[in-house]
Structure formats: structure tokens, C-alpha cells
Chains A and B, each alone.
Chain A
Amino acid sequence: MSYIRPNFRHPELATNELGYSRRDYEGSLSTLCAGCGHDSISAAIIQACFENAVPPHKVAKISGIGCSSKTPTYFLNKSHGFNSVHGRMPSVATGANLANRDMIYIGVSGDGDSASIGFGQFAHVTRRNLNMLYIVENNGCYGLTKGQDSATADVGSASKKGVPNPYEPIDLCTTALQMGATFVARSFSGDKAQLVPLIKAAIAHRGFAFIDVISPCVTFNNTAKSTKGYEFIRDHMAATGKMDFVPVRQEITADYTPGFTQEITLHDGSVIHLYKQDAKLLATDRDSALRAVQEHKARGEVLTGLLYIEPDDPDFHEIQATVKKPLRDLDASDLCPGQRALEAINSNLR
């Protein structure tokens, strides 16, 4: 079931530049387990959309099947949503985006949805550099079917059932990097300070923005032996650095050690300001990102933060050279060549 929140608004709620309050970005009440990491991610999406002053109805929320895929009901009630079929969110998002390039597409998926049944679609939407935000709410298990290991579970990690997982995990960030994603980040549902600016930057990024968010399953996979539990992630999390997302026209004020700062200007003019932990790490170098993820993994750490960004690669529409006007807004006068063209075709067929 989903519930509709009451319409009551406090008259003095803060509003963004469009005049919307944070509550205008909320959704129905969540029906997930209390303490579920996914609810924190929904809250971060709400916060990011509010702060970015995104018109709520210009967002389309698309998901597959699973606990994570239920969450689009719990944010942005003024947006159209599509809870599609298991593992197929990428294809639905691709079609939707082709139909109307002027909207913001937020795809929400899970580790079962993206690393198993939908692994092929995940790989291919990445290759196309579809302009969308793709969030995986990664808890290493299948929640809705009561806790089976998923393909992102680490070797030796044990869920509530207590049996250590014997299979090699699929790392969705390195997969995305290898498939050509132009924005790759990893975060933790418990770290809102890191997650919100990442989502804001990902929405502003033109192209395929992937965020793998470790999001503990409190019911089935939050054990002491799980590498996707709150405790383990808090103890083993390393960050690429601290990141600020600076929307267009806003002045950058912070001042950090030279050599540790990287500035990246996005296609819409907004700026990502990165205060790096490691001077060697270059967020615009795919190989450096791949190496960093692997090195941290070898040390038993989970590297979070912005891993890689390429702001200027053409997105799927630019590759296709489609018209600027959304395809779905073209009418018969734009699309139908009419009888005269048909007569010429007929005469070529005689």
C-alpha cells in the first residue's frame, strides 16, 4: 500500500528559487522497513531536487522491481513515475528519454535489478551515454524475497541466514567505468552530506550519471558479518574527497590547499568543486578512477565520492543528431511527408 500525505503546509517553509518548498518534492509515505537505507536515499533525492530548484513535473521517475524500485513512490509526487519490470528500467528510461529530451530522468534500481536480471540493460544504457541519473540502492541482497544474496555481495559476507557468500561480487562502479559512463560515484545512504551534492551534480550532468549507493538492508543484511551493513560501511568507508556542487552563477568561496582541489565545469555552466584526499586522484581520468577503486578494495575499504566525470561527451540524442524539439511534441505537419512524396515513391516502384 502507499499512503498520500496530508496537504497541509507550514506557511513559513523555506522555498527555492522556483517558489517550491521542500515538501513539494516529497512523495507518499514509505512502506519499507523502519531504518531502511533506501528511505535516506529518497530523502537525499528530495533534498537535491529542492536545492537544484528542479521543476518537479519535469522529472520522470523510472524503476524496475524490488525494494529499491518501490521508492519512486516515496519522492516527487508531482512527477510521473513508472515502476516497470524487473531489470528493465534502463530500456524504459531510454525510450522515455528519446521521446522527450527536455525532461530529467531519474532511474532507481537495486543490486538484483542491475547486477543480475538487468545486468545487460545496465551495461548498454551506460554505453549509450543516455542523459539520466541512474541510482542503484545497493544492499547486497534480495529484500522482497527475504534475503537471498545478490551479485554484489562480497565473498565471505554473510547475511541473516549466516552462510558466507562464495561468489565473486560484481562491482557496479567499475562496470560503469568500463562501459563508458561519463559520471560515476559511490556513496552511502548514511552519509547525506556526501550524497546530496553528488545527486545534485549528477542531475546537472549531461549524459549518463551513475551513483552506486550502499544502502543497508536492516532486516536481512545488517549483520556483523555483512560487508553491506551500517557498521561495516562506517568502519571501512574511504572518500575520494569532499565535494561541493555549485549551481550556475553562484560564487565559489571555499579555499583549500592547492593541488588538492579540482574544478569541473558542467555542460550547463554549474561547477563541481572537489577537495581531494589524494592529490594523485584525477576525477577526469577513467584509469585513475578504476585503479583507486581496486586499490581501496584490496585494502578492504569501500571508496566513496565522485570517482569519475567527463562533462562534455555527446549524449544519446547528440549521437543520434535528433532535433532539439522533443520528438513527442512533433505533429503531423512535422512528421507526415504527405501524398506528393508518396506518388514519387510509387513511381519508383513501377
Chain B
Amino acid sequence: MQRIEAVNDFVIRFANVNGTGSASANNMFAKAVFRMGIPVSPKNIFPSNIQGLPTWYEVRVSEKGYLGSRGGVDFMVAVNPQSMQQDVDCVEPGGYFFYDNTKPLDIRYQRSDVNYIGIPLTDICRREYADPKQRQLFKNVIYVGALSALLDLEFGVLKDLVAEQFKGKEKLVAPNIHALELGYQYAVENFKCPLSVRLERRDAVGEKILMEGNAAIGLGAIYGGATVAAWYPITPSTSVVEAYEKYANRLRIDPGSGDKKFAIAQAEDELAAMGMVVGAAWNGARAFTATSGPGVSLMSEFLGLAYFAEVPVVLVDVQRAGPSTGMPTRTQQSDLFAAAYASHGDTKHILLFPADPKECFDMAAQSFELADQLQTPIIIMTDLDLGMNDNMSEPLEWDDSKNYDRGKVFTAEQLDAMKERFGRYLDIDGDGICYRTYPGTHPEKGAFFTRGTSRDEYAIYTESSDAYVANMERLLRKFETAKSYVPAPEFIPAAESTKDGIIFFGTSTAAALEAMDMLAANGTHLDGMRVRSFPFNKEVEDFIAAHDRVFVVEQNRDGQLRKMLIVECDIDPKKLLSVRYYGGMPITARHITSQIHQLKGGATVTKIRRKAG
């Protein structure tokens, strides 16, 4: 029978039941591959459920460092009878199907083009453990042990990981290693190990780390000086504030008193969460909240206020599949419109698009600088894929010489020296950014009234059309200024000169980069541009101008980034070709290449017709 031959280049998927303790065993597998110096990209595919429903964990192993989802499965570890049919169906021809053969496999699950690896997990557990809970937990460890033999996953690396995992609970180390050995022994005795799909130690990881994007954002908020976090729980953003709290409890405790140099308020809803952030930021603290699409809808009211009253707030939007409750545990990049133009009236907000944990960390810290500098909401647009999965990334870095830039804030001394009347909304520097004062700064000077109603340059309520329009125009001027503050795009030139370009952002990046390589191998060269922020920098406009056609890759139905580019940069819609996948699983290079082939095919036909006419 045909067998897939692959060294350090395959996809393995674990099919488990939610709530059975499989996550830590699966994580250990991914981390062990990573420790062997081989790039990995693990992804949780989980239900909106706490216990009982099917859940999957997929690890792409890629020596070349392709971190996007690939599609297809080469090696299936099927330990969930509920999902057996679909688990068999998604194995690539020549791939492997690992299952518990304590009971014979149902004939329906037998394919002639798949290699079956049966290991009696239930039997082994029944023999070894009396406690039903242990039977369930160790079953997971046993299959990892078996995989060690089958795939040549170094056993010593697994042993080290077990020792680290149970640091402080040393009693648990030996039983876990024993369980690993049970699986290992059975595999060695019953199969020719390793299989044709296997691992080999490499040095392709360097100093890189494996981290969840949400944890990196929580940590970035600590480094960026956030002292107030207000939030309401919602998947997939919850772990942002949880990480902030975890790191703050370690890094932000006053050594003398034991008191906290931070405050966390779990609000009654997302409206209140954003209200608290607005109040804290208005009063001079760096403050943030994290939510997902449904929360953005609720926060829109306050985002409009923060835009108009010019309060520097930070919002982390960990996107999931919408609209409405949508698919709460699936990923998408579909909140661009909702975030960029949140709230009624003419509003525009600054968006940042991180693509990996290091950028999550950097942009989280930077968002507080930008918010203070620009006195407006900054929205970090991440998603479930980046936020809740371990992503391989360059290590985190911090420049210790850096101090916080709190933007244009008048101190008591500056107010003392001031001869003229203080005007909160006076555009002294001509860049649209005005000077503010923190409450309580000066006994006599600098007090003003913040409001969501129209006001003059001295913050006095007015219904004058001229004053209103002047203020709205100044806000536009400020948005123009923002283009030079926000992160610049990344340019990825093609190997050969080309008039075709491809634009992508955030979690579409890994798949897009891989697609560029696949297309180039077939002679289609594309210049790439990774957009990192909105408003779009001038480099983005120049890139589009320099190409005849540009593919815009994104994970939503309506091509939201493409439409924003068309509208905001005034671009001929025909020039921007939409490449989309929005099924809730991460986009793959295969999705991108097949759509680009189709789009290119269509374009060729049109040209021939024109010539004929």
C-alpha cells in the first residue's frame, strides 16, 4: 500500500473528547517536536462546550517553517468514537490512522488507502490503573508515548517536559513517564518503528518561543504601563485579561506593602467595561479592555464618545466568526468595518494588525503610546487563531532605555507659566492633536468639561455649525497625522520583477507567505505587502499604485479590507481582486493558491476577448 513519506513535514491531528485532559498531553507532543528544533504550528479546534463534545488538536510540523494551516491530515490520532467517521475521511491517501483497537474497528471506518495503527489503549489502561479517572488521563499520555516510537519523537525530550510540567509535584513525574513507556513499548513491539512519516532533530527554531497571542498581549499591556483593565468575559478574548492578571501578580506587586500596582474590574457587561476604560484614561491612567465581536458591538457607544471627546483608550478585539453569536470558537477577520467605523456619526478608529505573538506584545505596548500620543481609541485586531493557539515567534524584547510618552499633557508648571486661557481643543501645533490636562492638576487652571456633545476650542458647549465643522475637520487632520505614527507595512518582494501584488494582514500572513512560495515555484511571482495598521500608510497606496492588480487576502465574507482600501485610498475596485476564506478554520495556502489560479484564469480570458474585439 502507498505510504506518505515525510520527514519533518506533515500534519498530525488528535481527535479527543472535550474535558478529558487531552490538552496537556497534546501540548506536550507539540512542544517536544519544537524542542527537537523543528518548527511547529499547533491549533486547537474546540467546541463551545466545557465537557463531552468532540475537540481536535492539530499540529503542523514544517521544517521549512510554514506556520499556516495546511489542510488535510497525514497522521490521525483518533481517540474519540463520536467523530470517528469524519476523522477517517480527512486522512490523506497513504496517511496513517491511529486508533484504540481494544474493540475491532467498525468496517465503516476502514479505507483501503489508509494505514491503520491499532493500539489497545483502553486495555493497557484497564490493566495498569484501577482508578477510572487515572485510566482516562493516562490514556492520553500513553498515546504520546506510542507516537514517540512511531514518529521518532525523542523520548528524552518528553521526559524533560514531564519533569518541568510537574515541578513541585514530583510524585507525579514517575507515573507519567511510566505511562509514556507503556505506549512506547507497545509500539516498538508491534510496529516497525519509525514509520514513513517521522521526525529528525534539526536546528531550525533558534531562539524562538511558543506562545499564545493573548498571553503576549496581556504581557505587552504590563510593559506598556497599563494600570487599569476592565473587562467582561467572552471567548476568545478572556485569556488576554487573565494573562494580564497572571503576569501582574508576578511583576506588579509593590515589594514593600504587597499592594498591587494595577487594578482589574470585571464589569457587568462590555458597555461598562469600556466605560471604565474611558474613565480611567480620562483621569490619566493607561487603561484597556479586551473583547470579541459581540463586545465590540456593545462598546461602540463608548468608542464614539472616546473618539469625539478624544480619550486615549485601548481595545483588544480577539475576533471570532460572526455575525451575532456566530461561531464562538472559530476564527475570522470579520470585525474590520465594525471596529474601524464603530459608533454612529462620522467616526474612524486606529487599528493595529499583529501577526504573531511578538507583534502582539509589541503592538500591545505600543498601543498605549499611540493612544496617548493621538488621544483616540486604538484597537488591536487579533483573532482566535492567533490569540488562543501557541504560535511560534521570535522571542520578546524590550528596550530598557525607553520611557513612556504620555503625549500632549500640560503639567501644573506649564499651566502656571501660561498667560493665555487654556483651551482643551486648541490645535496649537497644527497636527490636529490638542493639549489635555489630567483632573486635579492645578488649583486654578486647566479644568475643562469633557463631553460627547459639540463644543468649542475651550470645551464649552456650542451648537454653532462653524465650531462643529471646524472640530470635525480637525479630527480628520488628526487621523492624517496618525498615518505617520502607526506601524508601517512590511514589504516582501518577489524573486522576479512582477506587476502582480498580494496584500494580507494578521493571521492570513503565514498562509499568504506560503502561497507566495507555492505560486513562485509554478512561475507566478507576486510582490507581497503585509498591512499592519489602519489608517493605511502611504506605502500601502504606493504599493497598489505600483502594481497592475493586487490580490487582497482576508478571512471574511465581504472582503472588508479590500473595500476599506478602495474607499480610503480611492482605488479602482477592478484593480483589487478578493481572495477570501471565512469558514472559521484558519485560512490555508491551498485556499489562497487555488483562488488566485481561478482569478488569474478569468483575467486571461478577458484579455483574449479584448484582443479579438
Contact = CB atoms under 8 A, between A and B. Distances in A.
Interface of A: 1-2, 4, 55-58, 60, 62, 72-73, 77-85, 88, 90-100, 102-103, 120-121, 123-124, 128, 317, 320-324, 327-328, 330-332, 334-339, 341-342, 345-346, 349-350
B438 A328 contact: yes
B447 A99 contact: no
A331 to B, nearest CB: 7
Nearest to B452: A85
A268 B395 CA distance: 50
B459 to A, nearest CB: 9
B263 A330 contact: no
Interface of B: 34-35, 207-211, 219, 222-223, 225, 227-228, 230, 247, 251-252, 254, 257-265, 267-269, 271-285, 287, 301-302, 305, 395-400, 402-404, 437-444, 447-453, 460-463
Contacts of A346: 207, 209, 395-396
Contact of B462 (A1, A55, A80, A124): A1
A330 B227 contact: yes
A58 B442 CA distance: 9
A310 B268 CA distance: 24
Contact of A335 (B261, B281, B287, B397): B261
A334 B225 CA distance: 9
B275 A88 contact: yes
A95 B280 contact: yes
Given A95-B228, A100-B284, A83 B397 contact: no
B267 A91 contact: yes
A73 B451 CA distance: 11
A349 B285 contact: no
B305 A78 contact: no
Contacts of B247: 345
A99 B283 CA distance: 6
Contact of A92 (B263, B276, B463): B276
B452 A320 contact: no
A85 B283 contact: no
Nearest to B365: A336
Q: Which 8 A-B pairs have the closest CB atoms?
A: A91-B275, A95-B279, A99-B285, A80-B439, A95-B280, A95-B276, A328-B284, A92-B279
A96 B251 CA distance: 24
Contact of B254 (A79, A93, A323): A323
A335 B252 contact: yes
A81 B449 contact: yes
A48 B433 CA distance: 38
18 contacts: A56-B443, A58-B440, A79-B439, A80-B439, A85-B305, A85-B452, A88-B301, A91-B278, A95-B278, A99-B228, A100-B285, A121-B271, A322-B260, A323-B259, A323-B261, A327-B262, A332-B404, A345-B396
Nearest to B449: A81
Greatest chain A CB density within 10 A among B448, B449, B460 is at B449
A73 B449 contact: yes
Contacts of B443: 55-57, 78
Nearest to A329: B284
Contact of B285 (A321, A328, A337): A328
Contacts of B403: 331-332
A82 B247 CA distance: 32
Nearest to B438: A328
Given A84-B278, A99-B279, A2 B461 contact: yes
A95 B281 contact: yes
A309 B403 CA distance: 45
A332 to B, nearest CB: 5
A82 B451 contact: yes
A323 B305 CA distance: 30
Contacts of B207: 346, 350
Contacts of B230: 91, 94-95
Given A88-B302, A335-B252, A82 B284 contact: no
Contacts of B463: 1
A88 B451 CA distance: 13
A99 B285 CA distance: 5
Contact of B260 (A81, A323, A337): A323
Nearest to B264: A320
Contacts of A98: 227-228, 263, 265, 276, 279-280, 285, 287
A339 B400 contact: yes
Given A78-B444, A121-B268, A349-B210, A339 B398 contact: yes
A80 B440 contact: yes
Given A58-B440, A99-B283, A336-B225, A94 B265 contact: yes
A342 B397 contact: yes
